[in-house]
Amino acid sequence: MSTLTRPNVGRKTPRVFYFMVLPALVIFAVFHTVPLLSGIYFSFTNYAGYGEWSFVGLSNYINLFRDDRILNAYGFTFLFAIVSTIAVNVISLAVAIALNGRIKFKTGFRGIFFIPNILSILIVGYVFNYLFSNSVPAIAEALGINALTTSILAGADTAWIGVVILSVWQAAAFNIIIYLAGLQTIGGELYEAASLDGASSWRQFRSITFPLIGAFFTINMVLSLKNFLQVFDQIVSLTAGGPGTSTESISLLIYRGGFEGGEYGYQTANAVIYLIVIIAISFVQLRILQRREASF
């Protein structure tokens, strides 16, 4: 091929591009890479966050698997993340389909449903805390619903439900936008042809809608599970990990033990393990969902 058709062959990248990228690389290294490597380093020590410390080898990692509190936190976090991921995607997809239909004030409704995504989750969490602790019991008592006259946040077996409700309500906004973007890529003529063939609404959803938004479903599922596995603010504002430690997530346990409990090295090892777990789960989930896309 002549140089006329390949004018950039052999040309060097101007230095100005390197100078433009360098500040971003420095910021990324200072605020991401250095803390990450520092955390891995201290995970092999008995550092309490202050004072002297010494290396303990793999002791922190071994003790993690013997700690009932950590194992319980993992159990709660995975249960919460799985339930919330399923709930938020079912609700978001249903709302997105409704908002994509022929309804009045469609643009206004889309803006309203996106509002939770821009609100501070801590502030919203305290509002939900008041609702669960005061408003809901008062309404339930007036209606004679005895099961709800006591705050669900006060029971070890029900507090997690309140966390799920708040988390799903807040996370649905982003998922709805992603699903809407996917739904708008589907041509209307496909539904018209399916209607002429006598396909029901459910049949159209199974054969047209869901297969064609498979990539968007994958994105939402992976991001939702990853974000819910890192739940922190919702628990702090609603239950603070209680009653007892029944709603204590891994992120909250790492924060409490590392910054308040003098277990900096120990909880850093916990954070390293949890990072590996999240990466592994996201990778496996992505591969499985991508294969599902290809099967349609």
CA end-to-end span of the chain, whole Å? 40
What is the arithmetic mean of pLDDT over 51-56?
91
Alpha helices in 188-242 (DSSP H): 188-196, 201-204, 210-212, 214-229, 233-238
Per-residue confidence (pLDDT) for residue 5, from 0 to 100: 52
Per-residue confidence (pLDDT) for residue 113, from 0 to 100: 78
CATH number of 61-295: 1.10.3720.10
Residue 69 has pLDDT above 60, yes or no: yes
Contact 177, 219 (CB under 8 A): no
| Residues linked to residue 45 through DSSP beta bridges, in sequence order | 55
pTM above 0.85, yes or no: yes
Cis status of the peptide bond prior to 243, with omega within 30 of 0:
yes
**CA 41, 43, 45, 51 torsion: positive or negative?**
positive
Residue 103, SS3?
A: coil
Residue 81, SS3?
A: helix
Measured in residues, the chain has a length of 296
**CA 272, 264, 167, 136 torsion: positive or negative?**
positive
Distance CA 116, CA 62 (A): 41
| Residues linked to residue 55 through DSSP beta bridges, in sequence order | 45
Distance CA 183, CA 43 (A): 46
* 130-141 pLDDT tens trace: 999 999 999 999
Cα–Cα distances (Å) from 249 to 71, 126, 281, in that order, read 10, 18, 17
Cα–Cα distances (Å) from 202 to 130, 195, 211, in that order, read 39, 11, 13
Per-residue confidence (pLDDT) for residue 2, from 0 to 100: 46
Contact 76, 160 (CB under 8 A): yes
Distance CA 88, CA 76 (A): 18
* 74-106 pLDDT tens trace: 999 999 999 999 999 999 999 999 888 777 776
* 157-208 pLDDT tens trace: 999 999 999 999 999 999 999 999 999 999 888 888 988 888 898 999 999 9
Residue 4 has pLDDT above 70, yes or no: no
Cα–Cα distances (Å) from 200 to 88, 208, 212, in that order, read 25, 11, 17
- Per-residue pLDDT band at 49 (split at 50, 70, 90): confident
* 228-272 pLDDT tens trace: 999 999 999 999 998 989 999 999 999 999 988 889 999 999 999
Contact 152, 161 (CB under 8 A): yes
Distance CA 151, CA 76 (A): 20
Per-residue confidence (pLDDT) for residue 158, from 0 to 100: 92
